[in-house]
Structures are given as C-alpha cells and as structure tokens.
A = this chain, B = another copy of it.
Amino acid sequence: MHIKKFVTPEIIFGSNAISQVGEACLRLGAKKVLIVSDLGVANAGWLEKIIQICKDSHLPYATFTDITTNPKDTEVVKGVSVFRENECDAIIGIGGGSVLDVAKAIAILATNSGKISDYEGIDKIEKPLPPMVMVMTTAGSGSEVSQFSIIVDSERKRKMTIVSKTLVPDIAIIDPFTLMTKDSALTASTGMDVLTHAIEAYVSIAATPLTDVQAKNALYLVANYLRPSVASKTNMEAKEAMAMASLQAGLAFSNAILGAAHAISHAIGGRFPLPHGEINAILLPHIMDFNFIAVPKRFTEIAEIMGIDTRGLTQREAGNRAVAFVNQLSEDIGIPKRLRNIGITEDEINLISQTALEDACMITNPRDMDFIQVKTLLENIL
C-alpha cells in the first residue's frame, strides 16, 4: 500500500453554527478580518449576519464582495488589495465555491509573492497562510473543507487548479439554515456537483478507506435527499442531509481528488460562465459509462448505495442502472441533457478536450483518457 495522506479542517456543523464564526476567528488569533462574499449572499442577508457577529465579538473587519461565478484572477488581485489596505490578518469566506475559492486565493497572495498563476498545480505554496474560517452557503462545492482553489486565468481563459494542504481552511462552518435561501436551480446544480464529487472520489485511483466511507454516505444522502431539497426551500431534513452530503463528499474528494468529469468541467467553465454543477451533471453519466471497465465492482456498489437491487445483475447491468439513476435524477430536477443546451458548440470541442487533458483532476481518473476519447465523448454529448 502506498502512503496515503488525509487532511481535514476543524468542522463545526449544525443549525445556527454560523453564530460561532466570531469566536472561531478570535481563537485563531485574528485581529482584523477580511470578510469575502458575493452579492447573492449579501442579498440573502448572510453577509450582514456575519458583520453583526464580528461586531458582537469586537472583531474589526473589512469586506470584499466583487466576485463572479467561475471567479477570475483579476478578482483575486482586487481582494488582496482590500486585505492589504485594511491591514487584515485573517479571512472569513461566506458563500458558495466561487467565494470560498477566491477567499483561499486571497490568502495565498496575502503572504506569498507573485501572481496567483504561479501557484497552479500541486504543492506550490511556500509560506503559511493567514487563518481562514470558511462558512458554506451552498451544498456545494466542498471548498470549505478541501485543499483546492479553482481560479480562472483570464488571459488564457482557463481554470487553474491549485492544490495544497495549506489551502485546507482552519475551521469550516456548515449551517444547514443557510441553504434555505438558495433557489431551486442553484440547489439542483450544486447538488449534482456533490454527487459528482462523491462518485469521482469513490472511483479515483487515490481513494482510501478514509475517503470511501465519506463518499459512500454522501452518495446515499444525495440519492435520497436531493429531490426533496430541490422541491422545497424549507424542508429542513433535506437541507441538513444535503449539507452533510456536501461536507462528506468534500472530505472525500479533497483527499482522493477527482476525475475526468471535473477535468472537462474545468475546461468548459474556464471559457463559459456556466454553473459548474450543471456542467458536471451533464458530463457525469457519460464519464461513469466510460470509466466502468476500470472499476466494475465499485460501480455495482454505487448502484447498491443508490438503492438499486443488484441481485442477479451482471456488473455491467448494475453499472448501467447506476448511470440510468443519475440520468433520471438530473431529469427530475431540471438539469439539461446536452452540452448544446448550455451553449457549447462543435468548434469548441478540440480546445476543451486539449485543456481537459492538462487538468490535475485527470490524473486520478480510474481509466486513462486520450485526446480522441475526450473528443468523441464530448461529441456524443453535444
């Protein structure tokens, strides 16, 4: 057995866990904190809530909310300026994956020199980062527990995958109440992102028993609670289950890494301002079908966790049923089926295929993929 590493932040999970954000920052020695967020989160009232908690904790703060979906290096640069001008020494991220990834990237440049693109790849960060407390408001990217930050290089129009143990936040706060302000489309796409994390981590070549147990429970929760969570903003049982699913899938993929769906999704997201989870959802069943021959037994297990009775089925039949389950789930919650539905055209496919092959997530995909295989797969989904 190769040596496996497993890194996790301190986790605070539960209703009203968000109220602990001030105490968490003070415990880490924060003197003045930069609160990183975006307009959607601000409009939902969560930024104001964080500001109030900082005030109550006598913790000085500055704010930065100039962040878009699939956030760019230029936004990181702006955030670093705000951090420096205000002489902050710690960071709170409150939001979905885009916000948390920018918060992490600001942390990198707060203590390390150069441009954010200097840190693309694995373990490039040299100096320790300022304390980070991440509050997750989508279930979700898993960024609150992961060692990943994904930032768009705006010149090259591609997503950079930055991976480092030091990007694991000090404290992750997951409060299911924050999920009640998400609309159904965002709940659907971020929920399918969780499913993609769970399945890619479970079939990853870097999976371990420590990541497997988290991935499997995340898969079970998504299979049972994503539909009701999309159906109702106020179904707290479903919100709690999806918050836990997001957390557990995050713990799994942060340590087992991901696969071809994320590699391709990053390539598409770098060029088009599309929801990351929706792209993953379109790709996932096709990648599962492609990957089947690498880990057939694992796909039977995936089917069983989804609630499919696999007795009497061949491994191939069980794998097909798992793929069909994902397709049906996507359809039920209104995810489009084809790449053209989200605006991708045939003349983009060569470039997307080439970029995907260079993504760090491709390394842990259980089945090798070459250019022709990526291209053919994308043409079939077009």
Contact with B along A108-147 (1 / 0, CB 8 A): 0000000000000000000000000000000000000000
In the complex, what distance in Å separates the CA atom of A11 from the CA atom of B255?
Answer: 11
Write out the residue numbers on chain B whose beta carbons fall within 8 Å of the beta carbon of A20: 3
In the complex, what distance in Å separates the CA atom of A2 from the CA atom of B13?
Answer: 8
In the complex, what distance in Å separates the CA atom of A240 from the CA atom of B247?
Answer: 27
In the complex, what distance in Å separates the CA atom of A195 from the CA atom of B112?
Answer: 46
CB within 8 Å for A209 and B213 given contacts A13-B4, A14-B3, A176-B1: no
**Does B11 lie within 8 Å of A6, measured CB to CB?**
yes
The closest CB in chain B to the CB of A10 belongs to: B7
Q: Which of A240-265 contact B (CB under 8 A)?
A: 240, 244, 247-248, 251
Kindly identify which residue among B8, B208, B240 contacts A13, using a CB–CB cutoff of 8 Å: B208
Determine whether A57 belongs to the interface, using a CB cutoff of 8 Å to chain B. no
Kindly identify which residue among B10, B17, B209, B214 contacts A244, using a CB–CB cutoff of 8 Å: B209
The closest CB in chain B to the CB of A173 belongs to: B3
Kindly identify which residue among B8, B14, B212, B247 contacts A2, using a CB–CB cutoff of 8 Å: B14
In the complex, what distance in Å separates the CA atom of A240 from the CA atom of B2?
Answer: 11
CB within 8 Å for A6 and B1 given contacts A248-B209, A248-B213: no
Give the interface size bracket for A toward B: 20 to 34
Give chain B nearest CB distance to A1 CB in angstroms: 5
CB within 8 Å for A11 and B210 given contacts A17-B3, A20-B3: yes
**Does A6 lie within 8 Å of B10, measured CB to CB?**
yes
Write out the residue numbers on chain B whose beta carbons fall within 8 Å of the beta carbon of A216: 213
**Does B1 lie within 8 Å of A5, measured CB to CB?**
no
Determine whether A165 belongs to the interface, using a CB cutoff of 8 Å to chain B. yes
The closest CB in chain B to the CB of A145 belongs to: B6
Give chain B nearest CB distance to A240 CB in angstroms: 6
Write out the residue numbers on chain B whose beta carbons fall within 8 Å of the beta carbon of A10: 5-7, 165
The closest CB in chain B to the CB of A12 belongs to: B5
Determine whether A234 belongs to the interface, using a CB cutoff of 8 Å to chain B. no
New contact pairs (14) apart from A4-B13, A5-B11, CB-CB < 8 Å: A1-B176, A3-B12, A3-B14, A4-B11, A5-B10, A6-B8, A7-B10, A13-B208, A13-B210, A209-B217, A209-B248, A210-B244, A210-B247, A213-B217
Q: Can you pick out 11 interface pairs between chain A and chain B where the beta carbons lie within 8 Å of each other?
A: A1-B14, A1-B240, A3-B16, A4-B12, A4-B13, A4-B14, A6-B8, A8-B8, A11-B210, A210-B244, A213-B216
Q: Which 6 A-B pairs have the closest CB atoms?
A: A3-B14, A213-B213, A6-B11, A8-B8, A4-B13, A213-B217
Interface residues of A (CB under 8 A from B): 1-8, 10-17, 20, 165, 176, 208-210, 212-214, 216-217, 221, 240, 244, 247-248, 251
